[in-house]
Amino acid sequence: MNKYQKEIKEFCEERDWEQFFDPKDLMLGIVEEIGELRNIVKWLKTKEESAKALVDNKDEVKDAVGDIFWFLSLLANSAGVDIDESAQWVIEDNKKRFPVEKVKGQHTNIKSGGHDGKYIK
């Protein structure tokens, strides 16, 4: 468990807040914060415009990303999941699913001709 996940756990335990953490509400909190990020870029047309908007709204992005991590940590803690272990598992799984020699510079949507080792043997 990384130091932030532990610190969030301790913060909430000190306040006896675990009783208020319904998994559904934690997930809805994540969705809400992602919606706030989406609002920054939703009317922009290019990758460059979106990237600039994120930089120009850095404080808002920083706040939303922090809130997402907060909710994600609470959700992971309630399920007994270590975020670092989970991330490492996904990295290793993606290395198998998306070998460099098959996906470099290409999308992975199999319905459009991409490669995903999870579905293509």
DSSP line for 36-66: HHHHHHTT--SHHHHHHHHHHTHHHHHHHHH
CA-derived radius of gyration, the chain: 18
The residue range of the domain holding 42 is: 3-81
Q: What is the pLDDT of residue 113?
A: 83
Q: What is the pLDDT of residue 115?
A: 87
Domain co-membership, 25 together with 67: yes
Question: The domain spanning residue 11 has which CATH number?
Answer: 1.10.287.1080
Side-chain-side CA neighbours of residue 37 (13 Å):
18
The 10s digit of each residue's pLDDT in 2-28 is 999 999 999 999 999 999 999 999 999
Cα–Cα nearest to 93, from 85, 104, 82: 85
Domain count, the chain: 2
Q: What is the pLDDT of residue 121?
A: 60
Q: What is the pLDDT of residue 98?
A: 93
Domain co-membership, 70 together with 87: no
Domain co-membership, 19 together with 72: yes
Domain co-membership, 77 together with 98: no
- pTM, entire model: 0.86
Q: What is the pLDDT of residue 108?
A: 87
Domain co-membership, 20 together with 71: yes
Which regions in the chain score pLDDT beneath 70?
Answer: 121
Q: What is the pLDDT of residue 56?
A: 98
